[in-house]
Amino acid sequence: MKTKMTLREWLPLIGMTISAFLVNTSEFMPIGLLTDISNEFHMTEAQAGVMITAYSWTVTLLSLPLMLLVCRIQPKKLLLGTLSVFAVCQVLSVISSGFTFLVLSRIGVACAHSIFWAIASPVAVRVVAKEHQSKALSAIITGTSIAMVLGMPLGRMIGLQIGWRMTFLCVAIVSFLVLGYLAFVFPKLEGTESFSVGQLPELFKNARLMSIYVITFLVATGYYTSYSYIEPFLQKVAGLPSNWVTMALMLFGVAGLGGSYLFSRYYDDHRYAFVQTVMIGVVAALLLLYPSSVNMYTVILVCAGWGLAIMAFQVSFQAELIGCVSAAASSVAMAIFSGIFNLGIGCGTWFGGTVYTKISLKDIGFAGGVIVAVATLICMVRFRVGDKAESAS
């Protein structure tokens, strides 16, 4: 019988969950503030969007190199240092005198983002007992879900009321507060055996890990093929009024909390069945996106199911990754995971845009669903083979 988590375990986990919320909120914020930023710097929204692209590619390209550079640092120092860089770069965004300065500050935030998501899950499972590791991973993903629900709308609301710079300032202030909190409550973890560049070939010989990376890339690509254009889809295809579009997107994020809860409840005891089910859920939601658009209630319901399944997928595959590599390699493996996921975001956004302009907006769900269906088939084959091999050994 499982014991309850102690206060000593909960306190650092709460701080990391808030940190995950801040990091993801910061990533999403510029999307809702793009018009105001472009107006201040006298440019088009498309030109201002360069900072969003720069952020995504920084995470994609630098996640692995940065983690290899800092992997020898003791976990608590690395976490606090990463959050310090994150907070300082938010301040630099506030005082940016030109657009180039703003882009550079956002690149600094992206570097902190890269390291944070490489260490967040591996560190979270180390601050709790082994029987509570699923709950720890679930808590980190909960921060992401809340950011999707409240992060961008809250940042946009602050930006509209008192200016886009104040949105970044608010994130900076809360980040410094969380930094102080974690400095006080976060335990000093022993550093794991260091990981070197020379060990990378061994990492890439891990067949299960390579399968996780391929599946992750395909799911992220399929997911963002559709999600990047979900707002115009809901407005132009499903015919939802603006307030209902906002409600659908918020419900998407809220449902993600459900996916996080289901993971903590069922993953440990039904691992393979759970992973299969959530991937099939993502495929079903994407393929049903257009058919469900005939009615506003059914399309919102499909969006909720999609949000639940995709969040459950993300936390499940982080757990799978941590379970198939050594403690020393977990942060580096997670850095690669983060980079691959962001590469999928970029590829999915491009592919979805191509489907939108060359074929039809109504087909983005079908296009994304086919890609995730391929990932699901690979998962069913590779994971079953891997499980049989593990059982035999």
* Domain endpoint, select from 136, 167, 191: 191
If asked whether residues 254 and 307 sit together in one domain, one would say yes
If asked whether residues 131 and 228 sit together in one domain, one would say no
Confidence band of 390 (pLDDT split at 50, 70, 90):
very low
pLDDT at 391: 46
Q: Give the closest residue to 341 by CA, choosing from 314, 375, 306, 374.
A: 314
Q: Give the closest residue to 28 by CA, choosing from 217, 125, 171.
A: 171
Instruction: Rank 25-39, 54-68, 69-83, 282-296 by mean pLDDT and report only the highest.
Output: 282-296
Reported pTM:
0.77
Cβ atoms within 10 Å, residue 295: 12
Q: Is 184 exposed, middle or buried (0-12, 13-18, 19+ CB in 10 A)?
A: exposed
The dihedral formed by the CA atoms of 295, 298, 304 and 310, expressed in degrees to the nearest 10: -100
* Domain endpoint, select from 168, 191, 214: 191
In the block, residue with structure tokens 């701080």: 15
Task: Answer yes or no: are the C-beta atoms of 171 and 18 closer than 8 Å.
Answer: no
**Cβ within 8 Å of residue 172, ≥6 positions away:** 87, 88, 90, 91, 94
Specify the number of domains making up the chain.
2
If asked whether residues 214 and 330 sit together in one domain, one would say yes
pLDDT at 389: 47
Cα–Cα dist 95/55, whole Å: 19
Mean pLDDT, the chain, whole residue set: 83
Instruction: Give me the amino acid identity at 329.
Output: A
pLDDT at 90: 94
Q: Is 7 exposed, middle or buried (0-12, 13-18, 19+ CB in 10 A)?
A: exposed
Task: Answer yes or no: are the C-beta atoms of 94 and 66 closer than 8 Å.
Answer: no
Cα dihedral 299, 304, 308, 313 sign: positive
Task: Answer yes or no: are the C-beta atoms of 234 and 137 closer than 8 Å.
Answer: no
If asked whether residues 180 and 207 sit together in one domain, one would say no
pLDDT at 193: 56
pLDDT per residue as tens digits for the range 356-369: 888 888 999 999 99
If asked whether residues 235 and 168 sit together in one domain, one would say no
CATH number at residue 155: 1.20.1250.20
If asked whether residues 39 and 129 sit together in one domain, one would say yes
Cα dihedral 374, 376, 381, 383 sign: positive
pLDDT at 330: 76
Q: Give how far Cα 379 sits from Cα of 1, 227, 258, 287, Å.
A: 31, 22, 23, 19
Confidence band of 325 (pLDDT split at 50, 70, 90):
confident
Lowest mean pLDDT among 42-56, 232-246, 267-281, 358-372: 42-56
Q: In terms of residue numbers, what domain contains 377?
A: 193-393
**Cβ within 8 Å of residue 376, ≥6 positions away:** 276, 279, 280, 282, 283
If asked whether residues 246 and 323 sit together in one domain, one would say yes
If asked whether residues 210 and 256 sit together in one domain, one would say yes
Alpha helices (runs of H) in 41-162, residue ranges in sequence order: 45-48, 50-70, 75-95, 99-124, 133-146, 152-162
* 262 backbone dihedrals φ, ψ, rounded to 5°: -60, -35
In the block, residue with structure tokens 């890339």: 217
pLDDT at 9: 82
pLDDT per residue as tens digits for the range 190-231: 755 566 566 677 777 888 889 999 999 999 999 988 887 887
pLDDT above 50 for 331:
yes
pLDDT at 261: 83
pLDDT at 111: 92
**Cβ within 8 Å of residue 203, ≥6 positions away:** 209, 325, 329, 332, 333, 336
Q: Give the closest residue to 106 by CA, choosing from 120, 88, 119, 118.
A: 88
Cα–Cα dist 302/321, whole Å: 28
Cα–Cα dist 157/176, whole Å: 22
If asked whether residues 124 and 219 sit together in one domain, one would say no
pLDDT per residue as tens digits for the range 134-180: 778 777 777 776 776 666 667 767 777 787 888 899 899 999 999 99
pLDDT at 365: 93
Percent of the chain clearing pLDDT 90 (strictly above): 25
* Domain endpoint, select from 191, 207, 242: 191
Cα–Cα dist 352/51, whole Å: 20
Q: What is the CA radius of gyration of the chain?
A: 20
